[in-house]
Structure 1
């Protein structure tokens, strides 16, 4: 029986459109160029931030991030950034008595912005707040701590990235669901890593059937 469902954030709950568009605008590059480069580095299995390094070789990402924040052009998040099925499925899961946790690789600020959205969730945390990022063992140990009194085989981790979500969550003993959404979710949907998930879904509402005994 699944007692806790834990959600990745980027391209699981939140669209990344605004994030990459804001970086393109900040660096003075066409949005299409940045989007295309993100797709290219993802296909190569590289860090998606490498797209920004291709636009501006030698870029100090931490310094640029701070400069954007200081200029009032930093990270933003509101209702329009959520996928349409997010609120309905979170509310439905809570209505079924399932503990809902949100935990992904994001900054401290994104954690704050998510909490301000007042989503139907019992716990929200980011890698920036934890000081541990996926796919590390420490991140998923934190996930288990956040799952309340549910054991690892009663906790389901949902994400779009086979290498960052499915594989390490399974290694930590959690149940896993691979979501076919976003560039990672679509590109690697038919890889052995994605196929190893306990469930493979095309939308979050499918989770209500999975958790119902």
Structure 2
């Protein structure tokens, strides 16, 4: 039985359009240029911040992020940055009695902004707040601590194979891979991803139905 659903943030719950547009404006390049390089990083299986380093090889991304905050051009997350299926899906999952957690590779500031959105979630936390980022096994050890459920009763939902699918599976969690954003679309039909995941979804609104199906199957097997 599923007891807890854990959600990635970027391109699972939130659209990254404004995030990359703001970085392009900050370093003074056309937005489509940075977007194209993010796509190239995706195809090569590289970290998305490599797109920034391709344009500014000497950039310290953490220092640049701090400089943006000081200049009043730091991170922003609002209702418009959420995918439209987020609130209905998370709300329905909680109605089904599941514990809903949001945990992604984001800054502490992003954590504050996400909590300000008052999502229908039991916990919202980021990698910077935990002091460890995906795909480190320690990140998923934290996930299991806060899930309050066994690994097989915990589902991790994300778009990124290297950060979400493979390490979550290695930690014993069930995995739902969402075809969303550049990573989700590019890697959706990769055989290694298809073999690793329990479910492939196109929308978060599919999750309540999957959970309902598992509940019904469990009830039939126990009858």
What TM-score range do you get, normalising by the shorter chain? Answer: over 0.9
Q: How does 1:1-213 map to 2 (within 5 A)?
A: 1-148=1-148, 150-195=149-194, 196-212=196-212, 213=215
Task: Tell me how far 1:56 sits from its aligned partner.
Answer: 1.5
Q: SS at the partner of 1:103? A: strand
Q: TM-score, normalised by structure 1?
A: 0.98
Unaligned runs of 5+ in 1: none
Unaligned runs of 5+ in 2: 216-223
Conserved? CA contact 1:163–1:193, under 8 Å: no
Q: Which runs of 4+ in 1 moved over 3 A?
A: none
Residues of 2 paired with 1:48 and 1:192: CA distance? Answer: 22
> Which range is displaced more, 94-103 or 54-63?
54-63
| Counterpart in the other structure of 2:221 | none
Residue correspondences, number: 212
1:105-164: CA deviation from partner (whole Å, max 9, x where unpaired): 11111111000000000011110100111111100000001112x111110000001121
1:7-66: CA deviation from partner (whole Å, max 9, x where unpaired): 000000000001100000001100000000100111111111111111122112121111
Residues of 2 paired with 1:165 and 1:60: CA distance? Answer: 25
Task: Tell me how far 1:192 sits from its aligned partner.
Answer: 2.4
Q: SS at the partner of 1:42? A: helix
> Which range is displaced more, 163-172 or 6-15?
163-172
Bigger Rg, which one:
2
Q: TM-score, normalised by structure 2?
A: 0.93
Q: SS at the partner of 2:91? A: helix
